[in-house]
Amino acid sequence: MTPSYKRVIFGSFCAVFAVYSAYVWTAGTDIPQNRSPGHQVKAGLALFQEKNCIACHQLYGLGGHMGPDLTNVVSAEGKGPDYARTFIENGTSKMPNFNFNETQVAALVQFLGFVDSSGTYPPKNPEITWYGTVAYGASKNTE
């Protein structure tokens, strides 16, 4: 017969396994806030892809490097939706004017707003959970 302490250890592992499995199977997978993109955001994304804005700009640091990163242009200090709109409407000497109509400009600004609400680039002091991962939705930090 095996010594009883081995049974206790084995039993403890089984208990931990059972409890953790129960937790994993029952923990919800819901995303904390409503993050589904609306009709305008989708139209903005389509334009962003069609006009290849990413050739010159980056989102989360990825893309071309002729223009600035656009991840947080809508919430950055001193910038904002109207600031972004001005560039999209008129272009500059380095950025083309795409001659967008009102609806298209609004859609692109909505899209940039949606991207902005998804997080911060570069990441700033993300909140870390007690088990060591980045807390979902907490990476947006105004510091």
Q: Contact positions toward ligand HEC, by CB under 6 A?
A: 48, 51, 53, 55-57, 66-68, 70, 73, 79, 84, 87-88, 92-96, 98, 108
Q: For residues 32 and 96, which CB has a smaller minimum distance to ligand HEC in the complex?
A: 96
Distance CA 74, CA 83 (A): 8
Q: For residues 89 and 137, which CB has a smaller minimum distance to ligand HEC in the complex?
A: 89
Burial of 53 (0-12, 13-18, 19+ CB in 10 A): buried
Select from 27, 28, 32 the least CA-distant residue to 140.
Answer: 32
Cβ 41 to ligand HEC shortest distance, Å? 13
Q: 128 - beta bridge partners?
A: 134
Cβ 125 to ligand HEC shortest distance, Å? 22
Cis peptide before 81 (omega within 30 of 0): no
Provide the 10 A C-beta neighbour count for residue 136: 11
Cβ 137 to ligand HEC shortest distance, Å? 24
Cβ 130 to ligand HEC shortest distance, Å? 36
Q: For residues 57 and 121, which CB has a smaller minimum distance to ligand HEC in the complex?
A: 57
